[in-house]
């Protein structure tokens, strides 16, 4: 596109003209500006959102994160139940997704025949391409109604048991719950964990795998002895990238978590998460309430930046070490 819009330049002039030098400097300046735009935008996000959220932060203090009472009508904004909700759904998502993603990645790199690999990649890519709101739609209109009877029968059976009873004992009224949201999130973060893990697995040296096989190891023993230890760091990074995605996912969670502000160990109960609350309450908020919602955005921004930079640093270090090995 840009290539066709070239201004014609006199080709006969082989000595460097001033015009050419100016164009050169202008172009490199524009490129530099575009690169710096990333840093500027990130800085502006931090500054603008913090300054608008400041009224809420100033009023609530640390209570913003430690008080478990969110009452917009009384100007009380304690987001602890949402922090808890975000934590619980992310934990469920990771527990369900990490083993599956590592399985798919191992399947692609170590087991599946070459012809099949692109088919698996296509499935994972399509899973990533489905918009989050479509996951939410499916979750609220299909998954939630279908799991309700299942939730009921599980809670009837395990309701009185010591540990399981406190996790799966009560609730399950509408099917919109921590568990539903967490499992749908698991599906949504599987592509990113799978693709990063696959890249890490691909860096394991051929020689080490062949050596393990030559010593008589079965394929699983080769994977356990040669592949997994080598790629452990990278897989931790991949998991953290998945965590970053899960914490920030808004719409699918908003539709499936059920939005009630409570802290409970019952996974069949409905809850609330930080991003979903922003989306759900934004329309009818104003003043201090909106400042508090922007404040949730600030907390989310800080948390995802921390998790993602940690993850990127770990992945980069793992890949560097592999290449050195």
Partner 1 sequence: MTVVDMPTDAGHDVEVSLEANLSPARRIADHAATAAMVLSFAVAAVPLVMIIGYVFLKGGQVVDMAFLTEAIPNSYRRVGPGMGPAVVGTVIITAAASAMAIPLGVLGAIYLNEYGKQNRLARTIRFMADVMTGVPSVVMGVFVYVVWVLRFREQTGFAGSLALACLMLPIVIRTTEEMLRLVPDELRLASLALGARRWRTTLTVVLPAALPGITSGAMLAVARAAGETAPILLVTGLTFDTNWSLFEGNNTTLAAQIFRNASQPYEGAQLRAYGAAFTLILLVFACTIVARIISARFSTTR
Residue 312, class by beta-carbon neighbours within 10 Å (0-12 exposed, 13-18 middle, 19+ buried)?
Answer: middle
From CA 260, how far away is CA 86, in angstroms rounded?
13
From CA 30, how far away is CA 24, in angstroms rounded?
10
Tell me whether residue 220 or residue 232 sits nearer to partner 1 (CB atom).
Answer: 220
Residues 83-142 that bind partner 1 (CB under 8 A): 99-104, 106-107, 111-113, 116, 119-120, 122-127, 129-138, 140-142
Judged by CB under 8 A, does residue 150 bind partner 1?
Answer: no
From CA 234, how far away is CA 59, in angstroms rounded?
42
- Annotate each residue in 167-186 with x if it binds partner 1 (CB under 8 A) or - if it does not, as one string: --------------------
Tell me whether residue 82 or residue 169 sits nearer to partner 1 (CB atom).
Answer: 82
Considering only 157, 309, 317, 320, the residue that binds partner 1 (CB under 8 A) is 309
Secondary structure element (H or E) that encloses residue 258, with its range: none
3-state helix, strand, coil in the chain (%, to 5): 75, 0, 20
Tell me whether residue 88 or residue 183 sits nearer to partner 1 (CB atom).
Answer: 183
Considering only 94, 196, 307, 318, the residue that binds partner 1 (CB under 8 A) is 307
Residues 35-74 that bind partner 1 (CB under 8 A): 35-39, 41-42, 44-45, 48-49, 52
Residues 225-264 that bind partner 1 (CB under 8 A): 241, 244-245, 247-251, 254-255
Considering only 27, 87, 161, 232, the residue that binds partner 1 (CB under 8 A) is 27
Coil, helix or strand at residue 151: helix
Beta bridge partner(s), residue 70: 77
Judged by CB under 8 A, does residue 205 bind partner 1?
Answer: no
Give the per-residue SS3 of 29-68.
Answer: HHHHHHHHHHHHHHHHHHHHHHHHHHHHHHHHCCHHHHCC
Tell me whether residue 131 or residue 149 sits nearer to partner 1 (CB atom).
Answer: 131
Tell me whether residue 302 or residue 325 sits nearer to partner 1 (CB atom).
Answer: 302
CA-to-CA dists, residue 166 to 147, 183, 261, 265, 286, angstroms:
19, 19, 18, 6, 38
Q: How many residues bind to partner 1 according to rule CB under 8 A?
A: 100
Q: CB of 235: closest distance to partner 1 in angstroms?
A: 14
Tell me whether residue 91 or residue 107 sits nearer to partner 1 (CB atom).
Answer: 107
Q: CB of 268: closest distance to partner 1 in angstroms?
A: 20
Spatial contact of 181 and 257, defined as CB atoms under 8 Å apart: yes
Considering only 56, 223, 267, 292, the residue that binds partner 1 (CB under 8 A) is 223
From CA 148, how far away is CA 270, in angstroms rounded?
12
Tell me whether residue 140 or residue 200 sits nearer to partner 1 (CB atom).
Answer: 140
């Amino acid at each position: 596109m840009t290539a066709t819009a070239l201004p014609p330049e006199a080709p006969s002039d082989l000595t460097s003209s001033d015009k050419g030098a100016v164009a050169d400097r202008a172009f490199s300046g524009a490129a530099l500006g575009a690169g710096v735009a990333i840093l500027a935008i990130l800085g502006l996000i931090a500054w603008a959102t913090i300054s608008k959220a400041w009224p809420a932060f100033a009023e609530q203090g640390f209570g913003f994160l430690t008080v478990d009472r969110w009452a917009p009508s009384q100007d009380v904004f304690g987001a602890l139940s949402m922090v808890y909700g975000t934590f619980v759904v992310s934990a469920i998502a990771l527990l369900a997704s990490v083993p599956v993603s590592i399985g798919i990645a191992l399947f692609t790199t170590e087991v599946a025949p070459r012809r099949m690999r692109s088919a698996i990649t296509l499935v994972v890519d399509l899973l990533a391409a489905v918009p989050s709101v479509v996951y939410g739609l499916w979750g609220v209109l299909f998954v939630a109604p279908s799991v309700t009877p299942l939730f009921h029968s599980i809670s009837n059976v395990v309701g009185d048991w010591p540990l399981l009873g406190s996790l799966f004992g009560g609730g399950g009224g509408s099917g919109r719950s921590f568990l539903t949201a967490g499992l749908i999130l698991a599906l949504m973060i599987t592509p990113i964990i799978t693709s990063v893990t696959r890249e890490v697995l691909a860096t394991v040296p051929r020689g080490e795998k062949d050596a393990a096989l030559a010593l008589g190891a079965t394929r699983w023993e080769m994977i356990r002895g040669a592949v997994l230890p080598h790629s452990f760091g990278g897989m931790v990074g991949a998991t953290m990238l998945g965590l970053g995605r899960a914490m920030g996912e808004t719409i699918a969670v908003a539709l499936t978590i059920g939005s009630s502000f409570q802290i409970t160990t019952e996974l069949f109960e409905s809850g609330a998460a930080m991003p979903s609350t922003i989306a759900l309450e934004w329309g009818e908020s104003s003043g201090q309430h909106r400042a508090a919602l922007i404040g949730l955005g600030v907390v989310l921004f800080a948390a995802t930046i921390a998790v993602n930079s940690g993850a990127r640093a770990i992945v980069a270090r793992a890949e560097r070490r592999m290449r050195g090995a």
